[in-house]
Chain A
Amino acid sequence: EPEVTQTPSHQVTQMGQEVILRCVPISNHLYFYWYRQILGQKVEFLVSFYNNEISEKSEIFDDQFSVERPDGSNFTLKIRSTKLEDSAMYFCASRTTSGRNEQFFGPGTRLTVL
């Protein structure tokens, strides 16, 4: 069964450093998403991406964040200068163009900012 994959599973970084989180969505999916979950809190939407551009972003997704689909398979989230409060689990998701909008989530990357 196809699945969304994410690497790395755990990333530790120093405050102020840049990190890139990687995702490989399901191959025939066209909408891509990033969500985050701070420990013990709910899952929050960050950004959606379709047709090589951002279709929607939340207020969390400020200038420190960017997304890219550098090739036909990867979807990345970059945080330019990490802050302590960026420590969270980051989930990638994808879906087809179906209006049923079932999103498939990856296993997540746990980001720890020291």
Chain B
Amino acid sequence: DQQVKQNSPSLSVQEGRISILNCDYTNSMFDYFLWYKKYPAEGPTFLISISSIKDKNEDGRFTVFLNKSAKHLSLHIVPSQPGDSAVYFCAATWGGGKLIFGQGTELSVKP
């Protein structure tokens, strides 16, 4: 049973435009949500997180939105840059350090 789902395996965006990556979850006990970026042959790199008591967190070009009633979160990247091309994982955690990852979305930002 997939508790964290990323339904879009890939996304292609033009440089300078907005990238929106989506994530859905089923477990209402999750208390933090995190986004990681992964390049080939590297480990995942933390991008941004949000507590379940908030609905928005912003860090530079990255903003995460949380809609608890819909059990949905999204990562917005504005403006998108070619260097943002990577696989993005949504992850969730509760009560400790156990991270549950979604399947990932491969973002391609074209110049």
A pairs with B: no
Residues of B near any A CB (own CB < 8 A): none
